[in-house]
Chain A
Amino acid sequence: MSALLEVEDLTVTFSTKNGPLDVVDGLSFTLEQGASLGIVGESGSGKSMTSLAVMGLLPPTASLRGRVALDGTDLTALPESKVRRLRGDRMAMIFQDPLSSLNPYYTVGMQIEEAYRAHRTGVTRRQARKVAIEAMERVHIADAARRVDHYPHQFSGGMRQRVMIAMALSTEPDLLIADEPTTALDVTVQAQILDLLQEVRRETGTALILISHDLAVVSEIAEDVVVMRHGVSVEQAPAERLFSDPRHPYTRALLDAVPRIDDEIGELRLVDRSIDAVGGKP
């Protein structure tokens, strides 16, 4: 059985005023059906770009090389119209800031229905509405039948992210990409959302790619981890091994930099800029 997602030698290049810039450089990884992968790195490491590349959502100024195969089909070789049919249907994505990621002018119900109807033909309004309510219930939004007609600003941050998850799951995708889903949320709510993602995975068997700069978040959910820096994967390993026995100095530095409650009071260890796998790029 081929892997659900195969990324081979992915390179994303932006054309800038100072010449071409590779924000992702030769990245490769695979994701099996139902598995979970964490992509970890600092800002600018290329982790978000990777997810956009997989979804085919790169801005027009970017060019892509390499292979991205979903269930054996190379997405990079497909025309946009075909990719669009997969996008939101077989692979879905949720983003960091749920408030700005939802259109303030439309009800959440409408936005969930929209996601569903984009990929199913012959769906009546009533059927779509039922789907929306069910999706909201699945992510534990109370009083879903009434709140489906509410607007995004009427929800709290955590609830909004649940709405985004509901929206993404309404089409029962094989792959869910979550780009910094908890970064904009309170710590307590973070845990709830992570739990929800775990639950969803268990119940639906959806594969998950979780992108974060926060190691703690990744360690909770991911079975495998890719550590990125300056567009390059510096280390890839099953989560357990990575966290207990980090091999690359950068990974070690990242882990070291996380303050722990039992640390002695000293200086915060910053990631040393001199540790560099690729030539210096600030």
Chain B
Amino acid sequence: MVRFLATRLAGMVGVLFLVVLFTYAIFFALSPDPAVQICGKNCTPELIDQIRTNLGLDRPFYEQFLGFLSGLFVGSTYGTGANAIDCAAPCLGYSFQTGQPVLEMFEQRFGVSATLAVGAAVLWLLMGVTGGLVAAIKRGTWFDRAATGAALGGVSIPNYVLALVLQYVLVVKLGWLPFPQAVPFGDDPGQWFLNFVMPWLVLAFTYASMYQRLTRANVVDTLDENFVRTARAKGLAPGLVWRRHALRPALTPVVTLFGMDFAGLLGGAIIIETVFGLNGVGKMAADSITKNDQPVIMGVTLVAAFLVIVGNVIVDIVYTTIDPRVRIGARA
């Protein structure tokens, strides 16, 4: 078990490193020269060169990459002398456009994305898993058909379309919700909360649909399993058959999938945040892409990759703990 963990962690670090390298290399090759961006209006070629040297942009690739890597652990400094900019560890880069270290930008926006993720997750787990369970138990009834139909619609509608429809209906036509306005939590908690209602609903509905389908399919399949038949043949009470023998195998994949989805969501829901104007990590990503703020794009990609990889490993570990076949291996 320990050995398994160790190999897994080593693998994770390996993949993460490759992702960092790959991303860095691509952006190194593709992105516009930050020196030009900083230089601004009254630029001369000499000035550009100076800036480049100052920021260390004229060093070879591997040097810059190593510099970036070390910055992740110990922080780094941009430029020299009076205008030197300090970037504390882990230094994810420095945005010359906003004048902030990328990490700082993250910290300011992570709360919004996290709130979005947690609220949606609670909703979608409740709606999706329960919906799938009930639909499976009452297979063929009107509830099953309605729930499964709704879920089918939910996975088919792009979430930005759903967002617009919801906004149109709830805000414009029915007036149940006010137009989303960005306010800090301290100033107006009520409005702040209301801002999240529609994004939560849209995200939750999309994910709940997937989870409903998955749960229902898993439960239906599990109920057909031979070991459930055995449990019944032993004369176990239906509740026991259900809880002990059917639910656990059926829900395990759902739980593990949830781990992955949630981790991914913490990295920011780009589309939802953009559509609803929520100032989270996702919107930061979208904005930085429009403005071509390369360090921020890099930073966001790295953090998202990190979250996905970590989520992956956690899910693997959970799976090992739950499934004895993986934990123990065959033929002791």
Q: Which residue of B226, B237, B328, B332 contacts A84 across the interface (Cβ within 8 Å)?
A: B237
Q: Which residue of B226, B236, B249 contacts A114 across the interface (Cβ within 8 Å)?
A: B236
Q: Which residue of B226, B235, B236 contacts A97 across the interface (Cβ within 8 Å)?
A: B226
Given A150-B332, A151-B325: A104 touches B227 (CB 8 Å cut-off)? yes
- Chain B residues within 8 Å of A, Cβ to Cβ: 225-227, 229-237, 240, 244-245, 248-249, 322-325, 328, 330-332
Q: Is A41 an interface residue (CB 8 A)?
A: no
In the complex, what residue of chain B is closest to A153 when comparing beta carbons?
Answer: B325
- Give me 17 A-to-B residue pairs in the complex whose CB atoms sit less than 8 angstroms apart, sorted by A's number: A55-B233, A92-B234, A95-B229, A102-B230, A103-B245, A103-B249, A105-B248, A105-B322, A105-B324, A114-B234, A115-B235, A118-B235, A150-B332, A153-B324, A153-B328, A154-B330, A164-B230
Docked-complex contact A103 and B324, CB < 8 angstroms: no
Docked-complex contact B225 and A87, CB < 8 angstroms: no
Residues 80-98 of chain A, each 1 if its beta carbon lies under 8 Å from chain B, else 0: 0000111111001101010
Report the minimal beta-carbon distance from A208 to chain B, rounded to whole angstroms. 16
In the complex, what residue of chain A is closest to B238 when comparing beta carbons?
Answer: A84
Alpha-carbon distance between A95 and B232 when the two chains are bound, in angstroms = 12
Report the minimal beta-carbon distance from B183 to chain A, rounded to whole angstroms. 49
Alpha-carbon distance between A85 and B236 when the two chains are bound, in angstroms = 8
Give the top 7 A-B pairs by smallest Cβ distance, nearest first. Answer: A88-B235, A87-B235, A88-B234, A100-B226, A103-B227, A115-B234, A101-B226
Contacts of B325 on A, CB cut-off 8 Å? 104, 151, 153
Q: Is A119 an interface residue (CB 8 A)?
A: yes
Given A104-B325, A151-B324: A95 touches B235 (CB 8 Å cut-off)? no
Docked-complex contact B330 and A153, CB < 8 angstroms: yes
Most central of B231, B234, B245, B332 by chain A CB within 10 Å: B234
Q: Which residue of B227, B234, B332 contacts A87 across the interface (Cβ within 8 Å)?
A: B234
Q: Besides the contacts A100-B226, A118-B235, what 13 more A-B pairs have beta carbons closer than 8 Å? A: A95-B233, A97-B226, A100-B227, A103-B227, A103-B231, A105-B248, A105-B322, A114-B231, A119-B235, A151-B328, A153-B328, A153-B330, A164-B230
Q: Is A31 an interface residue (CB 8 A)?
A: no
Docked-complex contact B331 and A154, CB < 8 angstroms: yes
